Amino acid sequence: MSEPILDFVQCPDTLGEHRMAYWSWGDKSASHLVFCVHGLTRQGRDFDLLAQALVASAQVGHLPSVRVICPDVVGRGKSDWLQDPLGYQFAQYASDMAELLQSLNEQRSIDRLDWVGTSMGGVIGMLIAAKKTSPPISHLVLNDIGPPVSWKSILNMKTYVGEVGKFQTVQDAANALWEISKSFGPHTASEWLALSQNMVRRLEDGTYCLHYDPQLRVPIRAVTEEQAMAGETTLWQVYDLIECPTLLIRGAESVLLSAAAALEMTQRGPRAQVASLPGVGHAPTLTHEDQIAIVLKFLGRHA
């Protein structure tokens, strides 16, 4: 399968309901699901190469078939935008994922659920894993994220989140995205353009802007340092409730997640194992073969 199937699920929110989009790869009858959930201003097509590798692993490794689900978190990609921008919070995101899980489980009983979460998607995964939902998360991959997020990183988010721009071409948008994404690590021009294709939407006048709701900036800009510290304390409590095998993939140059925080994550809660990626910051894109291989091995999907 070279292209995923786009589908939607209805989710309640404080002012009514909204549609969340999700991209589905692989066999719809598979009972093994892998959720791949993106970062703050990204979208589900970030995981195209990882999803293809996961699906192909069934043939290459003579393993049971797998279905990969890549949501566009509300306000991003093909999903609806919330009427209340203050609704862009982790509680809403986790609730939406629970709705999607319930819907998918009704379609086909889920025997195994794995989770790969980049940055924001990893926090959502921690919340789901700590609740021990039915079905529970079997294996959790946290891509350059943990309970602590540096205040410096939050200050940086305040400078660019919501600035959706206006571009004449997709290449222009890709160039602008690269300026704020160099910490993702080395990528060729063609690799970066491929990662940028789904990061834009076309406007009526033929120009492009970034795909997400500019109002995502509202809750980000409202965060104070004291609130960030309180949130970190809460997330450590969440992390300590997680019992499933957990892998932390950390960009060795990450300014969001320190080496000290990563070490602490190996010593408490699920005692995550760590894979460190030299020359990469926040966050690894999981598009290169060595990064994909780390995920496949942890999930038992390698040949």
Per residue in 115-137, pLDDT (tens digit) is 999 999 999 999 999 998 889 99
Helix axes 189-196, 170-179, angle to 10 degrees: 100
Q: What is the pLDDT of residues 19-37, one digit of tens each?
A: 999 999 999 999 999 999 9
- pLDDT at 59 (0 to 100): 82
H or E stretch covering 128? helix 120-131
- Name the phi and psi angles at 145, rounded to 5: -155, 150
Range of the domain at 246: 5-148+226-298
* 186 CB neighbour count, 10 Å cutoff: 10
Residue 110 has pLDDT above 80, yes or no: yes
d(C-alpha 97, C-alpha 100), whole Å: 5
Helix (H, G, I), strand (E, B) or coil at 266: coil
Of 218, 102, 96, 236, nearest to 161 (Cα)?
218
The answer to whether 50 touches 286, Cβ cutoff 8 Å, is: yes
Counting residues of the chain whose pLDDT is more than 70, the rounded percentage is 99
Residue 302 has pLDDT above 80, yes or no: no
The answer to whether 60 touches 67, Cβ cutoff 8 Å, is: no
Counting residues of the chain whose pLDDT is more than 90, the rounded percentage is 94
Structure tokens at 162: 């919501």
d(C-alpha 211, C-alpha 78), whole Å: 8
Mean pLDDT of 74-93: 97
DSSP letter at 159 equals H
Residue 8 has pLDDT above 80, yes or no: yes
Range name among 61-70, 139-148, 207-216, 249-258 with the lowest pLDDT average: 61-70
To the nearest 5 percent, what fractions of the chain are helix, strand and coil?
Answer: 40, 20, 35
Instruction: Evaluate whether residue 198 is within a structural domain.
Output: no
Count of CA atoms in the C-beta half-sphere (13 A) of 178: 18
- pLDDT at 112 (0 to 100): 97
Instruction: Evaluate whether residue 218 is within a structural domain.
Output: no
- pLDDT at 268 (0 to 100): 97
Specify the pTM: 0.96
Instruction: Evaluate whether residue 35 is within a structural domain.
Output: yes
Q: What is the pLDDT of residues 168-200, one digit of tens each?
A: 999 999 999 999 999 999 999 999 999 999 999
Instruction: Evaluate whether residue 122 is within a structural domain.
Output: yes
- pLDDT at 132 (0 to 100): 81
Q: What is the pLDDT of residues 269-299, one digit of tens each?
A: 999 999 999 999 999 999 999 999 999 999 9
The answer to whether 282 touches 255, Cβ cutoff 8 Å, is: yes
How many domains are contained in the chain?
1
Mean pLDDT of 257-274: 97
Confidence of residue 219 (pLDDT cuts 50, 70, 90): very high
Residue 162 has pLDDT above 90, yes or no: yes
Mean pLDDT of 243-269: 97
Instruction: Evaluate whether residue 197 is within a structural domain.
Output: no
- pLDDT at 303 (0 to 100): 56
Residue 89 has pLDDT above 90, yes or no: yes
Instruction: Evaluate whether residue 160 is within a structural domain.
Output: no
Of 40, 38, 48, 46, nearest to 4 (Cα)?
48
Q: What angle (nearest 5°) sits at the alpha carbon of residue 104, between those of residues 98 and 105?
A: 85
Instruction: Evaluate whether residue 83 is within a structural domain.
Output: yes
Confidence of residue 63 (pLDDT cuts 50, 70, 90): confident
Confidence of residue 62 (pLDDT cuts 50, 70, 90): confident
Helix axes 151-160, 225-241, angle to 10 degrees: 120
Of 251, 194, 256, nearest to 47 (Cα)?
194
Residue 1 has pLDDT above 70, yes or no: no
Give the domain CATH number at 70.
3.40.50.1820
Instruction: Evaluate whether residue 177 is within a structural domain.
Output: no
Q: What is the pLDDT of residues 228-243, one digit of tens each?
A: 999 999 999 999 999 9
